[in-house]
Amino acid sequence: MNRIRILLKLSFLPIRRSWLLIGFLAVSLAQILLGLWLCGGISSELARTEIYSERSRFVTIQLRDESVLVDPVKEALEGEDVSIEELKSGQVLERLEAEEPEIVQTIQSVGGEGLGLVPRMVLARGPIPDAALEKLKMMTEVSKVESSPVHHARLKRFYHHLGFEMRIALALILFLTAVQILVCHRILGRDSQEISRNLSSWGSSSLDALSPGFGSLLMITQGAFVLSLVEWWAFRTWIWKENSFLGELSVDGSLDFPVVLCLITAGVMFLLTGALAYSRRPEEE
């Protein structure tokens, strides 16, 4: 325990000597990692949205009259991840009024008979299979079924190209992360070399002599890593969900954390830190 405690104190020594510069580097590395998490989360969401747009459709179901129950229609869509909205005749008129006010005025002038001309409708959106549509068309409660894709072909191509560009951004950010770690290593190099030489002269093994340098770099990278996770949580809690535009970019109004990307990045950072720290000899100037 005493040996580990001494190595930890020696690891913290280079950081304490240049704490302001090291602090700025750690914060900047955290921002790069935050950008990595955002790109990973948005890239994953784009892939989900692309799949959703290929399978999903808007379906307008026109019922025969006001007395028809909606339950059979809901049962036909049971088991599907579909949002269902029921519109009575009055609600249909309210929506139609914004687009065709003259038609609505004509219907309202007729009175109750005019209102009877407005069909009761059920709106469904989601990945509705063709079998479910055919089942709806065969139902006696339904007079008409219309279907249209959620996203047209041009928007689907946009999702595909944007996903490719996000993968390029991920690669660039990973490169910047490696460069930032290398910069931290170079800044810590002089103090770490001095500590390594002293430990080596006192009879410590090469592994022990180089361990403080590894510990210093690991403290900075892991500190930045933790800070980026805290910033991600803050962004997802107070910005993504509270922003109506950003929230609509995802299928369910949420943004999943890229766990796999996070684990891969943590492993690569650890290996890169170890490779940089243990690649030198203690006596090297």
Q: What does the alpha-carbon distance between residue 8 and residue 211 come to, in Å, rounded to a whole number? A: 9
Mean pLDDT estimate for the chain? 76
Q: Give the CA distances from residue 177 to residues 84, 227, 259, in Å, rounded to whole numbers and listed in that order.
A: 45, 14, 18
Q: Is residue 105 part of a domain?
A: yes
> Within a 13 Å sphere around the CA of 188, how many CA atoms are in the beta-carbon half?
35
Of the three residues 100, 121, 149, the one that is the final residue of a domain is 149
Q: What does the alpha-carbon distance between residue 256 and residue 122 come to, in Å, rounded to a whole number? A: 31
- Give tens-digit pLDDT for 128-182: 777 777 887 787 777 777 777 766 666 667 777 788 888 899 899 999 999 999 9
What domain count does the chain have?
Answer: 2
Tell me: do 165 and 143 sit in the same domain. Answer: no
- Give tens-digit pLDDT for 211-253: 888 888 888 999 999 999 999 988 887 777 665 555 455 555 5
Tell me: do 126 and 246 sit in the same domain. Answer: no
Tell me: do 169 and 253 sit in the same domain. Answer: yes
Range of the domain at 249: 2-52+154-277
Question: Which is higher by pLDDT, 280 or 137?
Answer: 137
DSSP 112-141: HHHHHHSPPEEEEEE---HHHHHHHHT-TT
CA dihedral in degrees (208, 212, 213, 214; nearest 10)? 80
pTM: 0.68
Confidence of residue 109 (pLDDT cuts 50, 70, 90): low
Do residues 150 and 52 make contact, with C-beta atoms less than 8 angstroms apart? yes
Confidence of residue 29 (pLDDT cuts 50, 70, 90): very high
Tell me: do 63 and 198 sit in the same domain. Answer: no
Tell me: do 159 and 197 sit in the same domain. Answer: yes
- Give tens-digit pLDDT for 80-107: 567 777 776 665 556 555 555 554 455 5
Q: Is residue 283 part of a domain?
A: no
What are 63's strand-pairing partners? 142
Tell me: do 259 and 179 sit in the same domain. Answer: yes
Tell me: do 174 and 252 sit in the same domain. Answer: yes
